[in-house]
Amino acid sequence: MSTGAPRLPRRSALSAVGSTLAVSALGCSKEPLGPPPRAPKLERLADALPPDLDAVFRLDLGRVRSALGPVGVAAIKRLADRPVEPGRERAAEAAITEALEHADVVLVGLRTEIAPAGPDTVIVLEGRFPAPSPAPRSWGSPIDLGGDVRRWDRPARGPRPSPARLYAFGTRRLVIASELEIDAVEAVLEGGITPSSLNAPERGLFAFAARLNRVKDRLAAKAPLFAQALRSARRIEGSVEPSPAGLTADISLELDSVTSAERAAELFERARVASSGGEGQGAVFARTATVTAAGQSITVRCSLPADVVLALLAQLS
């Protein structure tokens, strides 16, 4: 009868030796394990916008609620609550509408090329969002990226402009990307590439900025006089502020030369005068507008009375 320790089968003994050698090798390795990937950071809302966008819109929902009341908020929710193709999941679109209830500031970035189904979108929201999950339940559990940042992916493909990925930065900021913007947003937030240089001004109830390469093509057929004025324009930006009488809009265009700016101002003034007759909302808009040129830029300022603003919003709500 054997009185020694039980002998391991040959395969088990070899496995044990191999494991010991592997542990020893790791312990003696001169190459230390690298640090874990950095957690994404979002110091400014615009830091989530990738560089392939054509237009950016900024909405100060906190000020809209104060200035325009329930009618204005209802109109915004209606615009966000886009129709979904029959048979498609609606939870993703509903999640955005619900998030707007808790948002104070919203950035919407658009890439407008190609898509007959709608633009590719990146939406960034700042507010106080309910825990634990801003994503639809059907999206499952998130990936923890560290630093209280979580990431969800839509489990099934949806319409091109609909939400396909969601990042939550704690309970204060959300980033939502449509399918064809996933890689670009990931490269900015997780890969550290430089975000877009295009950003809406941080002022007003509403602000926007856009590159004009595609806008000019669309205007050529619908508004040839404006298209002619914009022919040398590189970029447009503007904002809308509340005023005692209603809303005041300031729109600036950057052109390629002083001569182009003076010519564009002349064409805009001709269009304004031609549109100012009559009693429609467009005529009211045109009659209050002023056009000025300064250097390589022109500025258009116009006002809308409160009753016209509320009538426009009521049509959307």
Cα–Cα distance, 135 to 216 (Å, whole number): 37
Q: What is the mean pLDDT of residues 98-107?
A: 87
Q: What is the mean pLDDT of the chain?
A: 78
Which fold does the domain 212-316 belong to in CATH? Threonyl-tRNA Synthetase; Chain A, domain 2 (3.30.980)
Distances (CA, A) of 282 to 110, 247, 260, 303: 26, 14, 26, 11
Which pLDDT score, from 0 to 100, does residue 231 have? 74
Among 123, 113, 190, which Cα is nearest to 162's?
A: 123
Query: Is residue 284 a contact partner of residue 272, using CB atoms and an 8 Å limit?
Result: no
The answer to whether residues 198 and 237 touch, using CB atoms and an 8 Å cutoff, is: no
Task: Identify the pLDDT of residue 315.
Answer: 58
**Which of 14-28, 69-83, 217-231, 274-288 has the weakest average pLDDT?**
14-28
State the pLDDT at residue 195: 92
pLDDT tens, residue by residue, 36-51: 567 888 999 999 999 9
pLDDT score recorded for residue 280: 73
Highest mean pLDDT among 17-21, 79-83, 117-121, 271-275: 271-275
So what's the pLDDT on residue 5? 46
Collapse the DSSP code of 281 into the 3-class scheme (helix H, G, I; strand E, B; otherwise coil) and give the result: helix
Q: Could you report the per-residue pLDDT of 242-270, keeping only the tens digit for each?
A: 888 778 889 998 988 899 899 888 888 88
The amino acid at residue 212 is L
Domain-wise residue ranges, the chain: 45-189, 212-316
Count of alpha carbons within 13 Å of 277, Cβ hemisphere only? 3
Residue 91: pLDDT band (50, 70, 90) is low
What's the average model confidence in pLDDT over 216-233? Answer: 65
Residue at token pair 């900021």: 173
Q: Read off the pLDDT of each residue in 19-26 and give the average, rounded to a whole number.
A: 40
What per-residue confidence (pLDDT) applies to 24? 41
pLDDT for residue 36? 59
At 44 the pLDDT is 93
Res 126: pLDDT = 95
Distance separating alpha carbons of residues 164 and 186, to the nearest angstrom: 12
pLDDT band at residue 127 under the 50/70/90 scheme: very high
Percent of the chain with pLDDT over 90: 28
Q: Kindly give, in sequence order, each residue whose CB lies less than 8 Å from that of residue 206, ignoring residues fewer than 6 positions away.
A: 57, 58, 59, 60, 64, 239, 240
- Residue 16's pLDDT band (boundaries 50, 70, 90)? very low
Q: Give the residue, 286 or 9, on which the prediction is more confident.
A: 286
271/259: higher pLDDT: 259
Please say if the pLDDT value at position 18 is more than 50: no
pLDDT tier for residue 232 given thresholds of 50, 70 and 90: confident
Q: Which residues pair with 107 in a beta bridge?
A: 58, 124
Instruction: Compute the average pLDDT of residues 82-97.
Output: 60
